[in-house]
Amino acid sequence: MNNITKIKNALSDRGLDAIMLTNETNRRYAIGFSSTAGLALITKKDSYFFVDSRYIEAARNTVEDAIVEMTDVSSSYIDKVNTIIETNGIKELGFEDESESYSQYLRYAEKLKVELVPAQSILKSLRAVKDEWEIDSLKRAQKLAEKAYEGVLEIIRPGITECDIAAELTYRMLKLGAENISFEPIVVSGYKSSMPHGVPGNKKIEYGDFLTMDFGCKLGGYCSDMTRTIAIGKATDEMRRVYSVVLEAQLAGINAVKAGVAGCEVDKTARDIISAAGYGAYFGHGFGHSLGLDIHEEPNASASNENPLPSGAVISAEPGIYLPGRFGVRIEDVVIVREDGCENITVTPKELLII
């Protein structure tokens, strides 16, 4: 699947002749093909994908609705693009102003026979709203990650290390058919669970620990993301209270998600509950981020986003409380923004699990 037609329509809306895509994720979004090298050029009329000999055969077998050509020492990306510019009379060429390096921009500005116009906002806007085929990939990736998590629960016990659990999560997701992991798993226990993005280490899981696991995988290029915090052997009254507050905040935030509601309002709904319980100073990140081909996309359900969430956006729901040097709790689901509310695609139970 590709999004060439969407991009062509967006070019007309913006009054641009064409757009050049070099960012790997944007290229995949546009033409439906993933490679570490390549350049996609979408004009109002035609579409092109230029790539070197390492990927040319796979590209020709995969890419639809675009002309695929190989680059070499005698015909570089710039040569290819200039040919299309001259052939089609292109005067303004959109480029990815947010992801292109400054040095590369200067090179394009010097070598390409066209005016370069910042246009990454086109891709950001399009990617913010997922089609149902994209959502299907997200759901399949989420289902796979949850199945891997269920298997890992069976091996968690005092004495196993954080790195062991992270490795098992990765192995099981790949073994079940994932293309890749969405990001390096965050597996932290005990006092380390107070670090939202802590790194798994050789620390052994101990009786009485909270264990936080944040992980995901990719299918069809699309990411899953989930977090569960469990207790090992027992949970103190304070641990149970913090967990209960986080869960209450998450459920309230999810209930507030609806097309047209500002991201900051969703965040506030959850944040008010955490603050009222006396833990406001210990919830430092936003309620959630968007995800898709990248694990972090836009729009966000955060205090800084005053824009309404569009129907078809995909956001995480992951409030947390982190008590430095003691313990932390985060619970994360993924929801699809709909006109009448949201669809939660994470089915793993969220009641406090003690194993």
Same structural domain for residues 251 and 339?
yes
pLDDT tens digits, one per residue of 137-170 = 999 999 999 999 999 999 999 999 999 999 999 9
Does residue 351 lie in a domain region? Answer: no
> Would strands 222-223 and 217-219 be described as parallel, antiparallel, or unpaired?
antiparallel
183 φ, ψ to 5°?
Answer: -170, 165
Q: Which of 232, 236, 315, 247 minimizes the C-alpha distance to 277?
A: 247
Q: Which two tokens stand for residue 138?
A: 């997200």
Residue 350 lies in a domain: no
Q: Are residue 115 and residue 141 in the same domain, yes or no?
A: no
Global pTM? 0.95
The dihedral built from the CA positions of residue 325, 352, 233 and 148, taken in this order, carries a sign that is: negative
Q: Does residue 213 fall inside a structural domain? A: yes
Nearest to 56 by CA among 37, 42, 73: 37
Residues 6+ apart with CB under 8 A from 249: 270, 271, 273, 274, 319
Where among 79, 95, 128 does a domain terminate? 128
pLDDT tens track for 21-43? 999 999 999 999 999 999 999 99
**Separation of CA 63 from chain center:** 23
Same domain for 258 and 327? yes
Distance CA 280, CA 274 (A): 5
Asked, for residue 353, whether it belongs to a domain, the answer is no
State pLDDT tens for residues 69-104: 999 999 999 999 999 999 999 999 999 999 999 999
- Domain final position from 112, 128, 144: 128
Residue 22 and residue 14: Cα distance in Å, rounded?
20
Closest listed residue to residue 251, CA positions, set 149, 145, 350, 353: 350
Residue 349 lies in a domain: no
Question: What are the structure tokens assigned to 121, written together?
Answer: 């906002």
- 213 and 314 belong to one structural domain: yes
Strands 314-317 and 333-338: antiparallel
302 and 193, same domain (yes or no): yes
Residue 193 and residue 301 in one domain:
yes
Domain boundary among 97, 128, 159: 128
Q: How many CB atoms lie within 10 A of CB 56?
A: 19
Predicted pLDDT of residue 273 = 98
Q: Are both 97 and 15 inside the same structural domain?
A: yes
| Residues 6 or more apart in contact with residue 87 via CB below 8 angstroms | none
100-144 residue pLDDT tens? 999 999 999 999 999 999 999 999 999 999 999 999 999 999 999
Residue 65 covered by a domain: yes
Calpha distance 156→160 (Å, rounded): 7
- Check whether residue 96 and residue 123 sit in a common domain: yes
Do 162 and 20 belong to one domain? no
Q: Answer whether residue 28 is part of any domain.
A: yes
Looking at the fold, whether 34 and 160 belong to one and the same domain comes out as: no
- Tell me the CATH number at 19: 3.40.350.10
Range of the domain at 146: 132-344
Q: List, in sequence order, the alpha helices (H) in the chain.
A: 4-14, 24-31, 56-62, 77-88, 102-111, 120-128, 132-153, 162-175, 237-256, 263-276
Distance separating the N- and C-terminal Cα atoms of the chain:
43
CB-based contacts of 60: which residues, under 8 Å, 6+ apart?
A: 68
Structure confidence at residue 34 (pLDDT): 95
Same domain for 158 and 78, yes or no, is: no
CATH number assigned to the domain comprising residue 223: 3.90.230.10
Residue 11: which pLDDT band, with cuts at 50, 70 and 90? very high
Q: Render pLDDT for 248-305 as a digit per residue (tens, 0 to 9).
A: 999 999 999 999 999 999 999 999 999 999 999 999 999 999 999 999 999 999 999 9
Burial track 17-31 (b if 16+ CB lie within 10 A, e otherwise): bbbbbbbbbbbbbbb
Looking at the structure of the chain, the number of domains it has is 2
Task: Identify whether the C-beta of residue 335 lies closer than 8 Å to the C-beta of residue 344.
Answer: yes
